[in-house]
Structure 1
């Protein structure tokens, strides 16, 4: 029951997160965000949900209908099934290998992205999917090496153990935190690394042929991944003072909201990178640097006896 509650709460929070991003970008760009539906646009998620889920399901003429439906569903399931490892004090189960489950599910979600871009039989959608897949696969390796550095301090793959850890990894891993932030921005296809949306094509990447329910599922999956990455960042690097009780829960929520809004701020102020420079940055700079940090943390904090 608690897992169902967490999933429903995440659905609601992701819907309002989209409106928060639109309002935040409006503030950064000195313009009005959504402000018509409800007080200051607070009911905008309800209006968007009703509009998207009541639209007619239209299939492109040469698309593969089964895969066209299955692609967004896989992306949505991968984005929300991973919340089973949410480190809540009310959780009835504790996944002892939570971080490994996170790596496995995030790797499997690439198949959903490929299915979305290929099934619609659109060259723009297919190119967007190829860019997203190449970027995700490249940064998966980099993400794993960055992830294992703070785990050396906790000696556990469980998110609960990381949350109740008495030592915060940010004290010794500021450089790793910087690399991790770059990694989660690239992994979630966020600015300045949002190359799924091509500048020359002026289309929405692999979801360009989707509307209604399909587009809603893909948008919810994307923003759910952003929220989950914010939660992982708070657990990994800011676990200090995340004690049991109301204070720990409030701080935990504050970390998630602050890091999520940081992604919005980055989108509003940082210009877009170039795709070839992004791939070169990953394989030639960030990955060797993260491997060096992993070797350093292993030598300093692992007792081989």
Structure 2
């Protein structure tokens, strides 16, 4: 029975991610004063279905020079670790309950970068390898500050369980808006989103680590990327807005709406901010965000005693 529930949950998450993609395209169209996708059915609502059928119907071509085993395994690896996060989705009746779900989130999101390196290196393409190295350097750099900032609100609760954090009814953002701002900037860098989309955002990178992928492999990589964005939005809602979303039925509905709204902020940021320079991205991480994150962590540790 639990296996069936997991499969149904995965299908729901996949549908949510598919429609998040079309909402992003429609939102960017509105920001840029254009229509966006509007041809398939009513205002393009069935575009995710059309795109999915088109991608899955194509042949998955493997380059002759590529390491075929790793080339095929890379997207599956990234997809597995991206959607493994949803096992600890903190609702009133969670699929899986254990006390270290926050550490589980950090571990799963950290390991995913190895799949990105696998995709770029195994394609035996200079553009793919360059994109993968940039993604790895960016993710590993911001992961330190990202994890430290996540520990700040957890210290007030004294637990690593996301479900307990929601039920505690904290409103941490009032006491420390700076932590929320730095957390969101780190989340943009962790997910390789604008204005930090250097993985595929410059002319010499073409399409980053997924440049040689098409059909089913490309589909898995896109679903993994947008699935990570949505789950980080969920974690943001848990850490900073849990007082609005207690553990009850309507609380679950409000919690979902807050997470969706945070996901929409990713779209607004992509449509409004210009791309940052790569050296400034690294300077912001090691010279600004990390020292401030450590300082806020020490303050939170003293206050929570």
Q: Could you tell me the TM-score, scaled by structure 2's length? A: 0.97
CA RMSD of aligned residues (A): 1.1
Deviations 1:152-196 (A, max 9, x none): 121110010011112211121211000000010000000000000
Give me the whole-angstrom Cα distance separating, in 1, the residues matched to 2:203 and 2:26. Answer: 27
Give me the whole-angstrom Cα distance separating, in 1, the residues matched to 2:6 and 2:299. Answer: 37
Q: Could you tell me how far 1:202 is from its partner in structure 2? A: 5.7
Q: Secondary structure of 2:287's partner?
A: helix
Residue in structure 2 matched with residue 141 of structure 1 by the alignment: 144
- Where do 1:103-252 residues align within 5 Å? 103-201=106-204, 203-252=206-255
Residue in structure 2 matched with residue 15 of structure 1 by the alignment: 18
Residue in structure 1 matched with residue 259 of structure 2 by the alignment: 256
**Contact 1:166–1:239 (8 Å) recurs in 2:** yes
Q: Secondary structure of 1:121's partner?
A: coil
Q: Could you tell me how far 1:251 is from its partner in structure 2? A: 1.1
Give me the whole-angstrom Cα distance separating, in 1, the residues matched to 2:302 and 2:10. Answer: 39
Residue in structure 1 matched with residue 6 of structure 2 by the alignment: 3
Q: Secondary structure of 2:96's partner?
A: coil
Residue in structure 2 matched with residue 269 of structure 1 by the alignment: 272
Q: Secondary structure of 1:51's partner?
A: helix
- Which structure has the highest helix share of the two? 2
**Contact 1:153–1:169 (8 Å) recurs in 2:** no
Give me the whole-angstrom Cα distance separating, in 2, the residues matched to 1:7 and 1:193. Answer: 29
Q: Could you tell me how far 1:245 is from its partner in structure 2? A: 3.0
Give me the whole-angstrom Cα distance separating, in 2, the residues matched to 1:65 and 1:278. Answer: 34
Q: Could you tell me how far 1:139 is from its partner in structure 2? A: 0.7
**Contact 1:150–1:173 (8 Å) recurs in 2:** no
1:60 to 44, 48, 63: 63
Task: Determine if the alignment matches structure 1 residue 291 to structure 2 residue 294.
Answer: yes
Deviations 1:247-280 (A, max 9, x none): 2022101111100000000000000000011011
Residue in structure 2 matched with residue 43 of structure 1 by the alignment: 46
Alignment size in residue pairs:
302
Q: Secondary structure of 1:31's partner?
A: coil
Give me the whole-angstrom Cα distance separating, in 2, the residues matched to 1:25 and 1:123. Answer: 31
